[in-house]
Amino acid sequence: MIRGMVLNYYERLALLYDVSGPSAGELSEP
């Protein structure tokens, strides 16, 4: 359950950064 919540959290961040700009590509890498 927690793992799913974390993935959902990062998925939302990915959408926010994707809207903000191309910076998402850099943050996607671990």
| pLDDT given for residue 23 in this prediction | 54
Condensed to tens digits (0 to 9), the pLDDT of residues 1-30 reads: 678 888 888 888 888 776 665 554 555 555
| pLDDT given for residue 21 in this prediction | 58
| pLDDT given for residue 12 in this prediction | 87
Q: Identify whether the C-beta of residue 24 lies closer than 8 Å to the C-beta of residue 14.
A: yes
| pLDDT given for residue 3 in this prediction | 80
**pTM score of the predicted model:** 0.41
Q: Identify whether the C-beta of residue 17 lies closer than 8 Å to the C-beta of residue 23.
A: yes
